[in-house]
A and B are shown apart, each in its own frame.
Chain A
Amino acid sequence: MAHSELLVIGATGVGLGLIASRENADAQVLLIDRGIIPGAEFVNALVPGDGWDAAPSSSFAKSVYDELIARNILSNGRIHLPAISPVLYERMKPLASRIRLSTEILGIAATASGYEMTISDAGGISKITAASIIDTTTARISRPGMTFASKAFNVLLDAPARDFSEIIGQHGTATVLPCRFDSERILSLPLAANDGFADARRKLAQFWKERDEALRPWSLAASAGAFAYTVTDKRTEIAPSWLHLPSAAYRNITLAIEAGENAK
């Protein structure tokens, strides 16, 4: 049975910060994620975030922040969200031996020296052990049953070649947020607490049909693969040596990476 000192759940900003900061440490760290998209709580949820004006101070987060600027992904405090994932994938390459994507967690049991996890991947069901666990997922998949104050369904909009106006701000129930390029904006549609993706897309289709004149020249380019949640608690102890540090609690992905790097 594979053993690690620390099991990190979620290839989130916090999750990647956690494993990057332990790159040269003796402690064995393993990161698992049920999907394949790094920083999904921002990138796949289409959450541009804010607070981009100031660079994070920790080394890995700062180097990612600088790279985003160098590659024209971040400028004047505005972010070109879809381009973050290739940057993170490249950063994951040297860490790949301790990352398992497409891996589900089925259950966790306490042992004398830590925890035993039942996981599932393309090879099937197996068990791993870890002295401690840090769950960085928004949904807290290691201990299901998380509830949220509010959630939204975000979509990416694409402008026509010309003859369109600025749309940042409120449009009925939805809010339009700024992005790196003038031709891209995020539209954030509020949802009810128990809405699933089918409800979300139904509401989106309805909203789109009835959208106001200012939005009409724009195209709906892509919807989020994960919901945008409002997460307030940055740190919860689920059990001894089993923490929930939700990455979505941070203002943007580089600040989440910083939090992961600095986590004790």
Chain B
Amino acid sequence: MELSYLSAGKAVSEKAAASFEASYDVIVAGLGSAGVYAAIAAARAGLRVLGIERLSSVYGQGSSGGMMGYCAGSRGGIYEEIDAEIERRATDKIYKTELFRIVVEEFLSAAGVAVIFDATVIGVYREGKHVRGVRYVKDGAVRSAGSQVLIDATAEAEVAAIAGCETTIGRDSDGEPQPYSSVRVFSERKPDSVHFTLANFDAGYVFPSDPVDLSYGAIHAGALHLAEKFTEEKKLIAVAAMLGVREGRFIVGEETLRFHDLIRGNVTDKPLFHALSFHDNHTKDWALESDDSKDWVTVCGLWGENFHVPIPAGAFIPKGFDGILATGRCMAFDHDMAQSVRMRRDMHKLGEVSGSLAALSVKLRVPLKKVPHAELLSMLTKTGCANMLDADTPMIKLPQGEEAIRSALASGAPGLAIWAAYRAGSAMKKMLVSNLAGSDKMLRRSSAFALALLGDKASLPVLRETVSSYDETLYTSRNPQKCAYAAVYLLGRMNDAESIPLIFDVMETHPAAQDVSYGVTALLRIGRDVSACRKDVAARLSVFLSERITALPLPMQVSSSSGTAQVEDLATVIRLIAAKEISAWELPHTLVDAAKKSARTFRERRLLSQIIA
């Protein structure tokens, strides 16, 4: 037996004795939105279950995090029983975040789950790649417990990382996960009514696997709740006892879900249930997101479009391991996919699936990978968790047929039609090209966008015109991006060297965060693929970003009316992203020096150290 633990962020192991103070069938680390249901599902299947929770109460974001309501997510499963009980006790005069604590603990107790509060997992016992138990600290004392299956419901893949499972984090451009939020709950008091509610706003960026950043992130976020005068009208009840981290580490699974595949209809044929959400990334610097994300949000305006995500068993199982599962938002997703599988309802269901999967593995005495799909599905069908779609219900509802697509392309919200035309490929090209010559401006532009996604150069004149006229049309009210930005991105995507002066013009005329970040990423992309223009792009960008730009303020998202937007300065990050590319071209620039002077945040310093290294 080996004891595995993290040291300086990496898993290391040493030989260890194999005696546990206690043994369980299933141990769940983290009794939050997912872990609670993992524990209940496994215990109801007759297993001995232990839950280890870092805080002193259960339900994580739903209680200590202050997130009392739901956003998207799919229906069905054990959580509906708890919600019905919460509803039944609505007249108890207990505010919902607190009632969740009480009711969920009653359910855990009724299911026979043993719970240890105020305890943190610090080590994992394993034999090779088979996990056998955990080591944890409680009230300053180190303890251990054996398990048949250990479920990592920490939301950060913390236990999987400790066990030595492979993990990933962050987006490609600058390595960042999406912004974190900070919540306070308060009592809104009027002469005739009292309303218990929350304020929720994005606090910036935090890297949840970095202890220094995490510590600073907690201090920074907590201080954002400071008011000049605290009043009884908006009477504070609590600053959330945990950060609203939306994204952290992900396991690399036996099967990994990717947004790129989902939006192209390449999905599992063995779903256990369907998550339901939209591309809910809270970033504001979309230029730094992936192509898939920009195709979806910037070009098509589909940030708020709901779609289904079928969830297979393999996404819970760390690749190559047995005796361990990950559940919740740290499962095997890529950064883009994770934005759509993190809603509380879906976290409850992921928890239930993981608990059921663990239970079957223990009862049938088979490895987690070998749990029969049909039996697992049957278990999840009994509770209503397995919300199967009709055979003809698509994951994403796209318009069908040339006429429907053409008419939608001419509408004010052409996003789904642009995507449908792109997906249809050569079949729609003729129609799209003929639209370019027409007089309908909307139809021309959206057809050009679809053609650009297909890589067709016929789109270039309309794209350039969209940029030169600085077309501010928005395809949606939900996280809208100007059409000019979409066109800049697409010109970059198509390596249109002729547009270089045009893109510089836009940045000179509008030296703001969005314009500059879209412009710079497009220019770098053109330079990457068209080496003849590198020298010009590098020289002009170096001067522009070092001297012309002093700051690129970008307000973060405010999710409720009571918050104040936090402003991030994008200038240093953009300088560093440009520096990285131009250095790879082996051309001179002054961007690292400029960034060294301006780097202040952990995000900037982390990126700076990566580039210097």
A55 within 8 Å of B (CB atoms) = no
A 15-47 binary contact with B (CB < 8 Å = 1; else 0) = 000000000000000000011111000001000
Say yes or no for B389: interface residue by CB 8 A criterion: no
Q: Which of B64, B115, B118, B243 has the most CB of A within 10 A?
A: B118
Q: Which residues of B contact A100 (CB under 8 A)?
A: 211-212, 215
**A100 CA to B214 CA in the complex, in Å?**
9
A80 engages B230 (CB within 8 Å): yes
Report the Cα distance A88→B222, complex, angstroms: 9
Given contacts A183-B235, A223-B57, A226-B56, A86 and B142 within 8 Å (CB-CB): no
Please tell me if the beta carbons of A104 and B235 are within 8 angstroms of each other in the complex: no
Contact of A72 among B6, B57, B98, B229 (CB under 8 A): B229
Check A101–B120 contact: CB distance below 8 A.
no
Known A-B contacts A82-B236, A104-B122, A220-B98; the reply to A71 vs B227 at CB < 8 A is: yes
A82-101 vs B, CB cutoff 8 Å, 1 = contact: the mask equals 11011111101100100111
Which residues of B sit under 8 angstroms from A120, Cβ to Cβ?
120, 122, 137
Against A, the Cβ 8 Å flags (1 = close, 0 = not) of B4-15 are: 011111100000
Contact indicator A93/B219 (Cβ below 8 Å): yes
A142 to B137, CA, bound (A): 12
Q: Mark A197-215, 1 if CB is under 8 A from B, else 0.
A: 1100110110011000000
Whether the pair A181, B95 counts as a contact (CB closer than 8 A) is no
The 3 closest A-B pairs by CB, nearest first: A124-B6, A89-B222, A141-B140
B237 CB within 8 Å of chain A: yes
The interface residues of chain A lying within 8 Å CB-to-CB of B92 are 208-209, 220
B567 within 8 A of A: no
Nearest-neighbor residue (CB-CB) of B229 within chain A: A72
Q: Across the interface, do B6 and A201 meet the contact criterion of CB distance under 8 Å? A: no
A219 contacts B by Cβ under 8 Å = yes
- Could you tell me the distance in whole angstroms from the C-beta of B103 to the nearest C-beta in chain A? 9
Choose among A34, A96, A106 the residue that contacts B142 (Cβ–Cβ < 8 A): A106
B interface, how many residues as a size bin? Answer: 35 or more
Which residues of chain B are near A205, meaning CB under 8 Å?
A: 102, 106
Segment of B184-192, B309-317, B506-514 engaged in the interface with chain A:
B184-192
Given contacts A158-B95, A158-B235, A198 and B105 within 8 Å (CB-CB) = yes
Additional pairs, 19, CB under 8 Å, beyond known A161-B192, A221-B196: A36-B242, A73-B230, A89-B221, A96-B219, A101-B214, A103-B215, A121-B211, A123-B8, A123-B9, A125-B122, A125-B123, A141-B140, A159-B194, A184-B235, A216-B93, A220-B92, A221-B98, A225-B55, A225-B64
Which residues of the partner chain B approach A77 to less than 8 Å between Cβ atoms?
none
Is the Cβ of B140 less than 8 Å from the Cβ of A139? yes
B219 touches A221 (CB 8 A): no
B403 on interface, CB distance cutoff 8 Å: no
**Nearest residue, chain A, Cβ from B142:** A106
Decide if B16 is an interface residue (CB 8 Å cutoff): no
**Measured CA separation A105–B141 after assembly (Å):** 9
In the complex, what distance in Å separates the CA atom of A198 from the CA atom of B220?
Answer: 31
B218 touches A (CB below 8 Å): yes
Q: Which residues of A come within 8 Å of B, CB atoms?
A: 34-38, 44, 71-73, 80, 82-83, 85-90, 92-93, 96, 99-107, 120-126, 139-144, 155-156, 158-162, 181-184, 196-198, 201-202, 204-205, 208-209, 216, 218-223, 225-226
Complex CA–CA separation, A220 to B96 (angstroms): 10
Residues of A within 8 A of B156 (CB): 122
28 A/B residue pairs, CB under 8 Å, sorted by A? A71-B230, A83-B236, A85-B222, A86-B223, A88-B222, A103-B215, A104-B137, A120-B122, A120-B137, A122-B158, A122-B211, A122-B214, A123-B210, A124-B9, A125-B5, A144-B139, A158-B196, A158-B237, A161-B194, A181-B235, A201-B101, A201-B105, A205-B102, A218-B93, A220-B95, A220-B98, A221-B95, A222-B237
B361 near A: Cβ within 8 Å?
Answer: no
Q: Which of B99-145 contact A (CB under 8 A)?
A: 101-102, 105-106, 109, 115, 117-118, 120, 122-123, 137, 139-142
Q: Which of B202-247 contact A (CB under 8 A)?
A: 208-212, 214-216, 218-232, 235-239, 241-243
- Distance in Å from the Cβ of A32 to the closest Cβ of chain B? 9
Quick check: A102 and B55 within 8 Å, CB to CB? no
CB of B94 closer than 8 Å to a CB of A:
yes
B97 at the interface (CB under 8 A from A): yes
B193 within 8 A of A: yes
Q: Which residues of A contact B208 (CB under 8 A)?
A: 122
Chain B proximity of A241: nearest CB distance (Å): 19
Residues of B near A124 (CB, < 8 A) are 5-10, 162
Q: Which of B95, B105, B215 contacts A102 (CB 8 A)?
A: B215
- Is B5's CB under 8 angstroms from A139's CB? no
**CB < 8 Å: which of A126, A142, A183, A209 contacts B187?**
A183
**Which residues of chain B are within 8 angstroms of A160 by Cβ–Cβ distance?**
194
A123 contacts B230, C-beta separation under 8 Å: no
Chain B residues, Cβ within 8 Å of A103: 211, 215
Query: Which residues does chain A contribute within 8 Å of B215, judged by CB atoms?
Result: 96, 99-103, 121
- Tell me whether A125 and B223 are in contact (CB under 8 A): no
Across the interface, do A208 and B241 meet the contact criterion of CB distance under 8 Å? no
**A37–B238 alpha-carbon span in the complex (Å):** 11
Residue of B nearest to A124 (CB): B6
- Bound-complex Cα distance A82 to B240 (A): 10
Residues of B with C-beta under 8 A to A223: 57, 98, 101
